[in-house]
Structure 1
């Protein structure tokens, strides 16, 4: 198989059978916890305005996300995993807009199979793809580290690549966690004077969770949405 790692949120020109979009800090960590809190589905939108239009038509929808890392005025939730895991979201539909992870996903809808993950579900996602979707040696897989310069996403991409390839562990989960914590995108979370970012979020982003599902994007939906796929 041919597994290629890309970085950034732009569209990839070459086609792939499987694409995985990674956003560790924090979009798809938030998505993972949202499903654990009972969310039914997560629509992905490019703009704040689109999210508000969906909310106007569907008042029960829950808006969550950020612009340049910061909470969005009049959204129901921000982009914090520590906040979302306190919410009761059973049966709810989430609408998510983020700067990197959501944008990268919407820019790469052409694969036969499209998944999203943070580190929390990276191992399960890589194992699911390896065991169910890569029967031959000629399959092309794209792993997209959605932050354009963040080592957090890139470390997670390297971790997933080796699992899919079935290699002996070259990068341990512990090493990935260390790289997430020391990535430049994590620095603001440890700055006590920057109250817009919560240190506790990083602690949620580095915890591997043993959950029984992966997050797959339904590209046939008029508005792409993330759904749970049970293992």
Structure 2
């Protein structure tokens, strides 16, 4: 498998297969939303679009980065979201990097959104599809976020079926600037457990697939295939 690791701004063309990585915290939060029973997540282009979607569908749950704001139900924190019952609900998510990265590759044939919490399921889905070339979108810090790059590199290695010790990759993420900022309270809308939850390897057994549905980019959980299952992309 030929793996490329690019920042959002480096995406000169639409890849066939893209894995969009945001460890701290968009796609850790998305995984927790599905873990709490959410049916789907709509990835909003802007805060205004998120609020407009929420206004049209008051039963939807809207969340954003930073402090809680009028019109939103909660914030982009796994520690806070894990106590919210989302059974059967639709979540609208707008974040600074993760949702932007997913929308940047919305025309790709296969779009996966990932963090460490769904790493193995994501790698297994890539193996099942026998992808020759995969573009990993490193969303944080203009493509320089080491927690996202470490996670992307780990998934890429696991996608080849190679035995890979996750310790070094998790250590890099734990020592990243994002982790430091979350611990030190530089960012708003943070729970003390957020970093630990973002580094909980393979917490969930599903991958997360994003696709266009009626002009909206919608993220859904996808059961990790068994090692013998195969598909083509």
The verdict on a shared fold, with TM-score over 0.5 as the criterion, is yes
Whole-angstrom CA distance in 2 between matches of 1:193 and 1:26: 14
Task: Report if the CA contact (8 A) 2:112-2:208 is conserved.
Answer: yes
Structure 2 partner of 1:133: 129
Task: Report if the CA contact (8 A) 1:71-1:79 is conserved.
Answer: no
Matches within 5 A, 1:7-26: 7=7, 9-10=8-9, 12-26=11-25
User: TM-score, normalized by length of structure 1?
Assistant: 0.89
What's the CA shift for 1:4?
0.8
Structure 2 partner of 1:74: 71
More off after superposition, 207-216 vs 118-127: 207-216
Tell me if 1:230 matches 2:223: yes
Structure 1 unaligned segments of length 5 or more: list them.
none
Whole-angstrom CA distance in 1 between matches of 2:215 and 2:15: 21
Whole-angstrom CA distance in 2 between matches of 1:227 and 1:52: 21
**Residues 51-99 of structure 1, C-alpha deviation per residue, up to 9 Å, x if partnerless?**
1111111110100121xx4444431010000111100110000000000
SS of the aligned residue for 2:75 comes to coil
Task: Report if the CA contact (8 A) 1:126-1:164 is conserved.
Answer: yes
What's the CA shift for 1:10?
3.0
Matches within 5 A, 1:46-57: 46-57=45-56
Structure 1 partner of 2:2: 2
What's the CA shift for 1:28?
0.3
Task: Report if the CA contact (8 A) 1:117-1:125 is conserved.
Answer: yes
Whole-angstrom CA distance in 2 between matches of 1:33 and 1:10: 28
Whole-angstrom CA distance in 1 between matches of 2:223 and 2:158: 19
Structure 2 partner of 1:173: 166
SS of the aligned residue for 2:58 comes to coil
Q: Equivalent of 1:162, from 157, 166, 169? A: 157
Whole-angstrom CA distance in 2 between matches of 1:215 and 1:195: 26
